[in-house]
Structure 1
Amino acid sequence: MMKKILFLLILIVCSCTKKDVFEADRQIIINPAIKCENGFAGDYPCNDYDLLTHISLEEIAGENTVGNDSWGWVDPSTNKEYALVGTNKGVSFIDITDPARAVVLGFLKTRTENSSWRDIKVYKNVAYIVSEAENHGMQIFNLDRLGKVINAPVEFTADREYTEFGSAHNIVINEESGFGYAVGTKTFAGGPHFMDLNNPFQVKAAGGFEQSAYSHDAQVVTYNGPDLDYTGKEILIGSNENEVVIVDVTDKENPTKISAISYPNIGYTHQGWFTENLKYFILGDELDEQDKGTNTRTIIFDFTDLDNPLLHFEYLGKSAAIDHNGYVKGNLFFQANYTAGVRIIDISNIDNKLFTEVGFFDTYPENDNTAFNGAWNVYPYLPSGNIIISDINRGLFVIRKSKT
């Protein structure tokens, strides 16, 4: 009865056709954009970032679902944008081209058992998925299949599987070289496990590096930064629990440690990302807020000389929430800050040791406690400017900078 009344009211007010009314009704059901006004977008605290859509964990993968990593992909043939959302059960693929009409296209189950840790990266229209689930290996999934889904959601199967390692904490990919690096495996003492992805469905093992032991996370680049000694070399920066390690991995059969650097009050050296000029490396320590009693702490290193890295300065956030994954896009650093949501930080004055928070979207409005809830990952690289957030407790959010 209420739906019929709503239909008649809309028809009277806007003089719409029946088709228009159903379109309007559809938009209301699937969460249209909610402006960030007076510090909130609906129930979510915010500053200068609007909510475009929110898809719950139950919609993503059913009951008893817990969120974790995420990544994004753009179909080069159609320019459609997709969110790849990891959960304890597997990976969901969601068309977010029009966020207000986002569609959960399908789900790829974990290869072995459920796990709270699952990570995804993309290279040449192929998703590579690892997990800390026992004997999971790496699932290889052809993303071109997403554009062919007719009756969504569907249950996908992997196109290939790579089993040269069992569990892994994460995978990173250097898209310029076509090599992948699984970290936190049981091979190479937990150090990076090299893979040649240039034939994406025939992945080849390519060695590894074990001299610095367990690597929790990493970034790998074809270097074109200020240290001319390494121009054109493939450089891996490992976040290795208690230090940051710089390794030349150009020669896969003979990787060479360049240097390492530690810093005061280490909790857990978790994950970091280069600035775009490759001069600075921005690191998150996952346990210092909990173990050392500090506010969110971001550590910035000067990597002008890769043989002699220096601690540049530390930036403290506005709460004691734990920082997780962070990524640089231009002069902005996008930081998944667990219970404090995603923080957007202006790093344009990094030379002068000054960071300034310029926006945020808090996906966990209950509090900003030092706890493992809320925003796990943020992906800021979609051409549209839309930003993907995966939240442990609430699933997928897509946000965008507010228009002035």
Structure 2
Amino acid sequence: MKKLFFLLSILLFGCSKTDVFEGENQILIQPIAKCENGFAGEYPCKDYDLLTHIPLNLLGGTKGNDCWGWVDPVTKKEYALMGTDEGVTFIDITNPKNAIILGTLKTRTVSSPWRDIKVHNSIAYIVSEAEDHGMQLFNLGRLRKVSNPPVEFTSDRDYTGFGKAHNIVINEESGFAYAVGTKTFAGGPHFVDINAPFKPTPAGGFADSSYSHDAQVVTYKGPDTDYTDKEILIGSNENEVVIVDVTDKENPQKISSITYSDIGYTHQGWFTEDFRYFLLGDELDERDKGVNTRTIVFDLIDLDNPIHHFDYEGTTAAIDHNGYVKDNLFYQANYTAGVKIIDISSIENKQFNEVGFFDTYPNNNNTAFNGAWNVYPYLPSGNIIISDINRGLFIIRKSNS
């Protein structure tokens, strides 16, 4: 009867977007600090509330770095994967206000301020700049069985085809991982077949364009029909953007490359969802060229002939780090300025509009390597994960959503 009344109430009155369902239980997501009059507690903000904050001293490290998210396909619970200099900590954030630190997987070798995580088929793949670290594989399904948290986890498998790596990229459609910034293939992408769970297999690499700091790999369905359904890697390679067809792992082919003015350090970028444009962040142009936060936009209607479309400058001189596109919004981890949310719906007309922000580093907006390292905006609930170098894990959400 109780269940029937609950279902009828949903049909009659609807369900608030701030409700999350765990099994048959309804969880009302409530912020610990609403964004009011420009602040959520001590944190400057615009239209984004603070759902929870877990400081670094509870996460097992002294410096934060990457973060990612995972939704359990069985329980539908949501988790944050938070990287630190000492390892990766796994947090149940289904109800952010009552987030549970489940445990930590320690670094495979030594501590390092650089650690990156991606997820494929409920397995976390973790790399680090730590010497001889390789790639750790962790079965996220184990998080369901933690009865007395927090615990210290061990990896389920280690891949040692490379030692250190700056980042790991995964194309979930093809089932291939790409480690970048390794000592293999001149620092270019190192291919790993991860289609067989816990049986990673080396699959070649691409060395012709030298060191790749970061990349995105997609099964291409964009406007350039010459490459429809091809596996395309777009690399941010220190001083240029490189586009490579990696469909044939034994014979990857460079398609094109493009540079731009006032290069500081070509760091990281992301396709728009229609694959027409690529939004690039340069990590050192704010410091070395004296510009405000700059996003360089390329028009990739023709992958063989990429075109510089325009530059967007933000409102502060903070350094941009990692950015991701979801729908018509660009979520930019902006170091000392926190996370910026930018409306890119008028990208064709060379217009961006900052529509929100949450500043995880309220000290200042200086051009310095403090504050927000990464942002993950892809959870079904609409909750957004932020990792901060100095202050740990934040979960935020658009106000009144």
Structure 1 counterpart of 2:55: 56
Partner of 1:136: 133
Deviation at 1:32, TM superposition (A): 5.1
SS in 2 for 1:246: strand
* Alignment correspondent of 2:231: 234
Q: For residue 46 of structure 1, what is the amino acid of its counterpart?
A: C
Q: Deviations for 1:41-62, whole angstroms, at most 9, x for unmatched residues?
A: 0000000000000000001115
Q: Structure 2 CA distance, aligned partners of 1:224 and 1:33?
A: 41
Q: Which residue of 1 aligns with 2:285?
A: 288
CA distance in 2, matches of 1:179, 1:185: 16
| Higher gyration radius (CA) | 1
The one-letter code sitting in structure 2 at the alignment partner of 1:311 is: H
Establish whether residue 161 from structure 1 lines up as the match of residue 154 from structure 2. no
> How far apart in 2 are the matches of 1:180 and 1:110?
20
Tell me how far apart the structure 2 counterparts of residues 121 and 35 of structure 1 sit (CA, whole Å).
30
> In 2, Cα distance between the equivalents of 1:144 and 1:96?
15
Aligned partners of 1:97, 1:112: CA distance in 2, in Å?
31
Summarize deviations over 1:119-140 as a string: whole Å, max 9, x none.
0000000000000000000000
Q: 1:47, 1:59 → 2: CA distance?
A: 27
Task: Indicate the residue corresponding to 2:18 in structure 1.
Answer: none
Contact 2:127 2:164 in 1 (8 A): yes
Mapped to 2, the partners of 1:172 and 1:134 lie a distance apart of 19
- Measure the CA separation in 1 of the matches of 2:324 and 2:47: 19
Inter-partner Cα distance in structure 2 for 1:49 and 1:273:
23
Following superposition, the deviation at residue 100 of structure 1 comes to 0.4
Partner of 1:257: 254
CA distance in structure 1 between the aligned counterparts of 2:171 and 2:164, rounded to whole angstroms: 21
1:393 aligned partner: 390
Q: How far 1:211 sits from its partner (Å)? A: 0.1
For structure 1, list consecutive stretches of 5 or more residues without a partner in the other structure.
1-30
Distance 1:242 1:311 in 2: 15
Task: Report how many residues are paired.
Answer: 372
Give the structure 2 partner of residue 85 of structure 1: 82
Secondary structure of 2:141's counterpart equals helix
1:269 aligns with 2:276: no
Q: Distance in 2 between the 1:267 and 1:368 partners?
A: 19
The one-letter code of the counterpart of 1:146 is L
Which of 99, 102, 106 matches 1:109?
Answer: 106
Q: CA deviation at 1:388?
A: 0.1
Distance in 1 separating the partners of 2:165 and 2:120 = 18
Q: Distance in 2 between matches of 1:32 and 1:265?
A: 41
1:293-321 deviation line (CA, Å, top 9, x unaligned) = 11000000000000000000000000000
Segments of 4+ in structure 1 off by > 4 A? none
Q: CA deviation at 1:367?
A: 0.3
Q: Say whether the 8 Å CA contact 2:220–2:227 is kept in structure 1.
A: yes
Q: Which amino acid aligns with 1:44?
A: Y
In structure 2, what is the Cα distance between the partners aligned to 1:126 and 1:159?
Answer: 9
Give the corresponding residue for 1:37: 36
2:350 corresponds in structure 1 to 353
Cα drift, residue 200 of structure 1: 2.2
Q: Distance in 2 between matches of 1:186 and 1:36?
A: 45
Amino acid at match of 1:291: D
Amino acid across the alignment from 2:162: F
Deviation of 1:278 (Å): 0.2
Q: Secondary structure at the match of 1:347?
A: strand
Written as runs of structure 1 = structure 2, the 5 A alignment for 1:192-271 is 192-271=189-268
Query: 2:6 maps to which residue?
Result: none
Distance 1:200 1:298 in 2: 37
Q: What are the equivalent positions in structure 2 for 1:332-347 lying under 5 Å apart?
A: 332-347=329-344
Q: Does the residue aligned with 2:147 lie in a helix, a strand or coil?
A: coil
Q: What per-residue deviation string (whole Å, max 9, x for no partner) do you get for residues 203-260 of structure 1?
A: 0000000000000000000000000000010000000000000000000000000000
CA displacement at 1:33 relative to structure 2: 2.2
Contact 2:31 2:49 in 1 (8 A): no
User: How far apart are residue 327 of structure 1 and its match?
Assistant: 0.1
Q: Superposition pairs for residues 357-396 of structure 1, below 5 Å?
A: 357-396=354-393
Where in structure 2 are there 5+ consecutive unaligned residues? 1-29
What secondary structure, in the 3-state scheme, does the structure 1 residue paired with 2:59 have? helix
- For the pair 1:179 / 2:176, whether they are aligned, the reply is yes
The match for 2:9 is none
Residue 351 of structure 1: SS of its match in structure 2?
Answer: helix
Q: What is the CA RMSD across the aligned residues, in angstroms?
A: 0.8
Matched, 1:304 2:297: no
Determine what percentage of the aligned residue pairs are the same residue: 77
Q: Partners in 2 of 1:313 and 1:261 — Cα distance?
A: 14
Corresponding letter in the other structure for 1:52: L
Q: TM-score, normalised by structure 2?
A: 0.92
Task: State the partner residue of 2:91.
Answer: 94
